[in-house]
Chains A and B, each alone.
Chain A
Amino acid sequence: MSEAEIITQCLHNNKDAQRSLFETRFSLLMQMGMRYSKNKAQAKEIVNVGFTEILNNLYLFQKSDMPFEAWMKERFIEGTIQFLKSKKQEYYVATTVRVDDSKKTDDLFQQVESFDPNDINETDLLKAIQALPPSFRAMFNMCMVDGLNCKRASEILEVSEDTAKNHLEKAMYQLHQHIRNIQKGFA
């Protein structure tokens, strides 16, 4: 079955087609789920929520001009953000970046000890991403990995563009700190 046929069959609630779509896109969805979640258990939940969002809104794809994968990713992200926001106690945590006043500069990255990015393996990088606070993690993933611009990401997160940029900067700072800690063996 071609992709177009699978989509058409999914619209008619064909379970085999739905399963086929799930199977073919599983690796991508799980990869995204792992990035947006704090652990594998939550990633599974996110995949299920995200795929439901895709199936429920598949009729909208016929009206859009986007390629299927890009459209699917965006729907998945929207579903994921809604899911993360529903976990209010977890999502709205105090996210404070502590910088010593004596060392305070305009550039947060001057605080980070230098390291070679080539030394980091993908597992450590994923671990560092998962250690970020949910809102920072979501912002980082949308802008740095999934290729959304800051404006679109702020719309999905329902925050101002300035807040989104601020989140992204702090996320990058914390990510580098986490990587340093992982490399030093603290985490």
Chain B
Amino acid sequence: MSNNNSKQLSKEQIAKKLANLNYNFNENYWNEFQDQYQHVKPSSSKQSIKINPKLVALFIGLTLVAIIVYAIATSSSKNTATENETIPSTNSVSDTKEKLKEEVKPVVIIPEIKKDSVVVTPKTQQPIYQRKPKEAIETPVATPTPSPEEDNVVIPE
């Protein structure tokens, strides 16, 4: 922020230039001031009330302590009250459990399937290839050869 740079405005230059600005007093300004600030009272009679931050902190602290004490007191009173209450017998608890079991039935939600939404895709018919056993292929089927004896067989007419 030094003034060694010639392209910067110095403090003196700024003050000198701004001092040239003059504003003449006008009665309207005074009237405006009076209209807006009629509540201005003589300062000698004014008793300024200054809020001491320490007092504020003390007040807040005390309030917090009071709240905490109250909370503790109420909670302890509740505890004593619950202790005094009669504890229900175990039988009654089991009874109620059974009743609840009876009353509450499991609900099974079955999603509704719309007929339109179901798309049935037809199964493609593919040829079933069965491999033939090896023996069946290689071994030729034996054709009965006529034996010479058979040739002599006379077929009766």
Interfacial residues of chain B within 87-102, with CB under 8 A of chain A in the complex: none
Interfacial residues of chain A within 33-63, with CB under 8 A of chain B in the complex: 34-35, 44, 47-48, 51-52, 55-60
Residues on B with C-beta less than 8 A from A56 are 40-41, 43, 46
Q: Is A159 an interface residue (CB 8 A)?
A: no
Establish whether residues B29 and A47, one from each chain, have CB atoms under 8 Å apart when the complex forms: yes
Contact of B33 among A27, A51, A114 (CB under 8 A): A51
- For the residues of B in contact with A, the DSSP-based class is loop
> In whole angstroms, how far apart are the Cα atoms of A58 and B48 in the complex?
12
Establish whether residues A11 and B32, one from each chain, have CB atoms under 8 Å apart when the complex forms: no
Give the A interface residue count (CB, 8 A): 46
Residues on B with C-beta less than 8 A from A117 are 7-10, 13
> In whole angstroms, how far apart are the Cα atoms of A60 and B23 in the complex?
28
Residues on B with C-beta less than 8 A from A187 are none
With known contacts A35-B18, A117-B13, A125-B14, A172–B44 Cβ distance under 8 A = no
Contacts from A to B (Cβ < 8 Å): 10-13, 18-19, 22-23, 26-27, 30-31, 34-35, 44, 47-48, 51-52, 55-60, 109, 112-115, 117, 120-123, 125-126, 144-145, 165, 168-169, 172, 175-176, 179
- What are 26 A-to-B residue pairs whose CB atoms are below 8 Å? A11-B44, A22-B25, A23-B25, A26-B24, A26-B29, A27-B24, A34-B21, A44-B32, A47-B29, A48-B32, A51-B37, A55-B40, A57-B43, A59-B46, A109-B5, A109-B7, A114-B7, A117-B7, A117-B13, A122-B18, A125-B14, A126-B18, A144-B11, A144-B14, A145-B14, A179-B9
Known: A22-B29, A31-B21, A172-B1. 17 other contacts (CB 8 A): A12-B42, A13-B45, A26-B25, A27-B22, A27-B23, A27-B25, A34-B21, A47-B29, A52-B37, A55-B40, A55-B43, A112-B7, A113-B7, A117-B13, A122-B18, A125-B17, A145-B18
